[in-house]
Amino acid sequence: MSYFANALSASLSKLEWSQTHLAELTGLQRPHINRYVRGRATADSETLVKLLTTLPQPYNAHLLAAYLRDAIPAGFESLVYVAENNENLHETPFSLPENLDPVLKKTICRLSIAAGRHTEIRDMLVQFDKLTRPKH
């Protein structure tokens, strides 16, 4: 099943909405909603917009992220990271100097997120840290 179908099904379940209720809210036909939930059809951009504007936060963010994940060709998933609305790429769990260049700050944040997800990036950063750490 597609990410989109899973996200739509999960959203309906968590919101306790029926497919009929979603169809009424969006103006879409219930059989079409059923095809999207079962992964038997892919929403076009017009349908996607109707679904996204109908679903409340954070469900619309999850649905859009799932739609985008489905669009990534097989074998290339590791090249793309789809951030959902609840993830702030500008915040870090550690403090950075206030006068740090904003582009550099953003890069550090992205690297810390990537290091948390990919061991090769984490290992590379650990090696870089060892090489650049002052010797006592």
Residues 123 and 66 placed together within one structural domain of the fold: no
Residues 106 and 42 placed together within one structural domain of the fold: no
Domain count, the chain: 2
Q: What is the pTM of this model?
A: 0.61
Do the domain assignments include residue 46? yes
Residues 57 and 12 placed together within one structural domain of the fold: yes
Q: How confident is the model at residue 136 (pLDDT cuts 50, 70, 90)?
A: low
Residues 65 and 129 placed together within one structural domain of the fold: no
Query: Could you give the residue ranges of the DSSP H alpha helices within the chain?
Result: 3-15, 19-26, 30-38, 45-54, 59-70, 102-117, 119-132
Residues 70 and 115 placed together within one structural domain of the fold: no
Residues 37 and 71 placed together within one structural domain of the fold: yes
Residues 7 and 63 placed together within one structural domain of the fold: yes
Name the residue among 116, 4, 129, 126 with its Cα closest to residue 60.
4
Task: List pLDDT tens digits, range 63-121.
Answer: 998 898 888 888 777 666 666 555 444 444 456 677 878 888 777 777 777 776 777 87
Do the domain assignments include residue 55? yes
Residues 55-79: b if buried by 16+ CB within 10 A, e if exposed: beeebbbbbbbbbeebeeeeeeeee
Residues 13 and 63 placed together within one structural domain of the fold: yes
Task: List pLDDT tens digits, range 21-61.
Answer: 999 999 999 999 999 999 999 999 999 999 999 999 888 88
Domain ranges, residue 9:
3-76
Name the residue among 82, 88, 84, 117 with its Cα closest to residue 11.
84
